[in-house]
Amino acid sequence: MEITAEQIGKKYRKEWIFRHVDLILMAGTSYTFVGPNGSGKSTLLQLLAGNLPATEGQLIYSLNNTVVEPDNWFRQVSIAAPYLELVEELTLDELLIFHQTFKPFKQGLTLEMVADRLLLSHARHKEIKYFSSGMKQRVKLGLAFFSESPVVILDEPTSNLDRQGMNWYQDQVRQLSPGQLLLIGSNQPEEYEFCPNILDVMQWKR
């Protein structure tokens, strides 16, 4: 998967969050967007995910040299972010089954294996609303890590994680498939120390 941003800009009312973003994001590598709180990292990631429309410019997804239609972008992207909510009335097993109806897990991964990799085998039949904030964050991340999608987007990935959770994140993020495109929004070096491409969103402030 390749994502090309051509002169992308986003404006809320009269304020430009960013402008003139030109990027080519290539499969098989990772990119981290850094910048102060409120600088537009999350907005840019949501736009790249197809969750927000651009005010100006053009966003192009291409897979195997074929352009992907905007209506099908969501099938290519898995995203984990603090502002995305889980269905808390479901048990973990029910949530995993529901998730697979629109985004299957990577080949060979069963419900049991996913729960085990989430360190939540003991909580498979527990409703999400009774999970701690750290458990919920592992679930959000796990749905992104373990889904069959060429693009993985992580915004503030270690929010609510303790040291054990941080270690778990670092182990899992390094196990992403070599061909996947990884985008991270972060101000915490521990979240992206492995990443070769660091982009400061302040360069696009106008």
SS3 (DSSP) at 81? coil
Q: Is the dihedral of CA 153, 107, 180, 149 positive or negative?
A: negative
Whole-prediction pTM: 0.95
The token pair at 3 is 């994502």
CATH 3.30.450.40 fits 2-204, yes or no: no
Average pLDDT, the chain: 95
In whole angstroms, what is the distance from residue 197 CA to residue 123 CA? Answer: 37
> What pLDDT digit, counting tens, does each position of 125-176 carry?
999 999 999 999 999 999 999 999 999 999 999 999 999 999 999 999 999 9
Q: Is the dihedral of CA 165, 168, 174, 177 positive or negative?
A: negative
Q: Please, are residues 155 and 185 in contact by the beta-carbon 8 Å criterion?
A: yes
> What pLDDT digit, counting tens, does each position of 31-40 carry?
999 999 989 9
**C-alpha dihedral, 203 to 62 to 60 to 196, nearest 10°:** -10
Using alpha carbons only, how large is the chain's radius of gyration in Å?
A: 17
Report percent pLDDT > 90 for the chain: 91
103 CB-side CA count, 13 A: 22
Q: Please, are residues 7 and 57 in contact by the beta-carbon 8 Å criterion?
A: yes
Which class for 189: exposed (0-12), middle (13-18), buried (19 or more C-beta within 10 A)? Answer: exposed
What residue segments make up the domains of the chain, in order of their start?
2-204
Q: Tell me, what's the pLDDT at 71?
A: 86
**Cα angle for residues 154, 29, 110 (degrees, 5° grid):** 60
Residue 112: name the closest of 120, 102, 100 by CA: 120
In whole angstroms, what is the distance from residue 68 CA to residue 199 CA? Answer: 25
